[in-house]
Amino acid sequence: MNTHALPRAAALIDARYLRWLARLDDSEIGASLPRDCIADAVRHVLGRAGLRSNLLRIYWYSDVDDHAVVDDQALRLLPAVDVDANALVRQMATDLQALAASGRIDIVLIASDDDRLCAPMEAAKLAGLTVCLLADERAENIQYLLQQDPNWARLLREADRRLVMRTSELVHALSPGSEDRSLADAPCDQDLASAIQAVVNTWWETVPKEEREYLRDELPSLRGVPPEVDRELLLRGKNALNRSLNFHEKRVLREHARRVAMT
């Protein structure tokens, strides 16, 4: 295929936001995300939205220098202490303005939840760019998000497109060796999934009624589970499997817990 005939795209990705979307802590996958495998995920989510394009460059914003050399990527190293993410917003807004002014980009995908980008995004749209925002499944219910996280909802509404990448997809994309596996291979096998479900069911049976009601109220506004619940679930999972859970098994455990608690 002649990629030069396709619309030209660039991506502006806040590594902190990507980690938040994937619900990762610093012990999972590593403090520095493997940005060498993110380009395929960006192309996939654009293509799935009907925005097949020639991805020219990814701008990666992080306070961690991974010392990696990645083709068609620009590392924007931010201060280790970035109060209120001011440096991030300034740099991302500057880059967005420059891309719009260059006239070489047709589509820009932004991975951020900072609503201070609304004005730069509007300016880019007026300059002719199609502006997309990367989000997780919560973006599929904007009305609910307006109540739970109005600033993020405001930013999402500003975009031309909201491109949803589910947590499991993103974790898979960021996993070492993920390019050698299909998404169908990512979930736990049936026996392991059943064991994790049993752990969650046993835990839920021990949760007092008042705490159950609290969790049903709080979980919709959280990305995972409360820290104290997480610690208990991980301990129960470790005891049940006689080993520590890997990052994917932790994801499955937390998703099962959320599903059971919110039913």
Structure-block tokens of residue 168? 């499991």
The pLDDT value recorded for residue 190 is 65
Strand partners, 163: 134
With beta carbons less than 8 A apart as the criterion, state whether 52 and 6 touch: yes
Spatial separation of the C-alpha atoms in residues 33 and 28, rounded to whole Å = 9
- With left for phi above 0 and alpha for psi between -120 and 50, is residue 107 left, alpha or beta? beta
Spatial separation of the C-alpha atoms in residues 81 and 158, rounded to whole Å = 28
Nearest to 92 by CA among 16, 164, 31, 35: 16
The pLDDT value recorded for residue 34 is 81
Which residue matches tokens 């129960």?
A: 236
Q: Which long-range contacts (CB under 8 A, 24 or more apart) does 122-130 make?
A: 122/158, 123/96, 123/97, 124/96, 124/97, 124/99, 124/100, 125/160, 127/100, 127/101, 128/100, 129/99, 129/100, 129/105, 130/7, 130/51, 130/106, 130/160, 130/161
Spatial separation of the C-alpha atoms in residues 244 and 131, rounded to whole Å = 42
Spatial separation of the C-alpha atoms in residues 12 and 35, rounded to whole Å = 12
The pLDDT value recorded for residue 178 is 44
Nearest to 175 by CA among 20, 30, 13: 30
pLDDT in tens, the chain (263 residues): 445 578 999 999 999 999 888 887 655 555 578 888 888 889 989 998 999 899 999 999 999 898 889 999 999 999 988 878 899 999 999 999 999 999 999 999 999 999 999 999 999 999 999 999 999 988 888 998 888 888 999 999 999 999 999 888 888 777 755 443 333 333 445 677 888 989 999 999 999 999 999 888 888 877 678 888 888 998 999 888 888 777 667 778 888 898 899 88
φ/ψ (deg, to 5) at 53: -155, 170
Question: Domains, the chain, ranges and CATH?
Answer: 3-182 (3.40.50.1010), 187-261 (no CATH)
Spatial separation of the C-alpha atoms in residues 88 and 112, rounded to whole Å = 10
Q: Which amino acid is at 245?
A: L
Nearest to 112 by CA among 45, 210, 15: 15
